[in-house]
Amino acid sequence: DAGVTQSPTHLIKTRGQQVTLRCSPKSGHDTVSWYQQALGQGPQFIFQYYEEEERQRGNFPDRFSGHQFPNYSSELNVNALLLGDSALYLCASSLTGGRNKNIQYFGAGTRLSVL
Amino acid sequence: RKEVEQDPGPFNVPEGATVAFNCTYSNSASQSFFWYRQDCRKEPKLLMSVYSSGNEDGRFTAQLNRASQYISLLIRDSKLSDSATYLCVVTPNNNDMRFGAGTRLTVKP
């Protein structure tokens, strides 16, 4: 049973560039959430996708956008990268309406460095 | 005030010790509560859910006090393998999770 998988594992970009991160949810899950974790901090909620739509959004600028595909996988796009976007980006999946609907399972993350 | 606040530690304890972590949250309408564990440079992993009635899983006990908006985690008989950062998590609705900054624990021989 595959868990949450993310790609790539590491990425180096320069300021102003754009980046796309990918996530495949745990088998049987239909909901994907994205988080940003800066060094020494807890993960910060970016947004959540369900039924191919953004269902909830945290306090992140419009430079952060996403998409969910019919197979429930998801992408996170960040435009006009800033140095402060350097962080670990975590994807988490869950099952909406399931018995444990609030429990999210995390992928290993993509470590983004912006130079 | 942060939505979820934790004592950052670090907590340095000897093997076999009992250690307790506390967490407070600001949104009284929060619905679900969890403790996650995160090892260095790894993803967070669910340790346990937290219920008002309290719950226990082996050496770990979690408590929730909704009136005080307070969550706790107690680890008994600490093992070296318990060394990690413990994240307090609150869900203000059914969708997103709000994390504390984490409490770092080091268990020493």
Q: Which of B34, B97, B101 sits opposite A45 (nearest CB)?
A: B97
Q: What gap in Å lies between CA B71 and CA A92, rounded to an integer? A: 23
Q: Which residues, other chains included, contact A12 with Cβ-Cβ below 8 Å and sequence gap of 6+?
A: A112, A113, A114, A115
For A45-81, write each residue's pLDDT tens digit: 999 999 999 999 999 999 999 999 999 999 999 999 9
Cis peptide bond upstream of B10, omega within 30: yes
Q: What gap in Å lies between CA B83 and CA A82, rounded to an integer? A: 33
Q: Which residues of B touch A54 (CB under 8 A)?
A: none
- The per-residue b/e assignment along A77-106, b for 16 or more CB within 10 angstroms, e otherwise, is ebeebeeebbbbbbbbbbbeeeeeebbbbb
The answer, for B49 touching chain A at a CB cutoff of 8 Å, is yes
pLDDT at residue A35, rounded to an integer: 97
- Rounded mean pLDDT, B27-55: 91
The CA-based dihedral angle spanning residues A103, A101, A3, A50, taken in that order and rounded to the nearest 10 degrees: -120
Place of tokens 């679900």: B32
Q: What gap in Å lies between CA A30 and CA B108, rounded to an integer? A: 41
Q: Which residues of B touch A33 (CB under 8 A)?
A: 95-97
Contact between B98 and B3 under an 8 Å Cβ cutoff? The reply is yes
pLDDT at residue A63, rounded to an integer: 98
Note whether A41 contacts B101, CB cutoff 8 Å.
Answer: yes
Does residue A1 have a pLDDT over 70?
no
| The token pair that represents B56 in the structure block | 């226990």
Note whether B96 contacts A56, CB cutoff 8 Å.
Answer: yes
A2-16, A48-62, A95-109, B42-56: which has the minimum mean pLDDT?
A95-109
Distance from CA of A9 to the nearest CA of B (A): 11
| The token pair that represents A84 in the structure block | 């402060």
Q: Which of A33, A56, A109 sits opposite B43 (nearest CB)?
A: A109
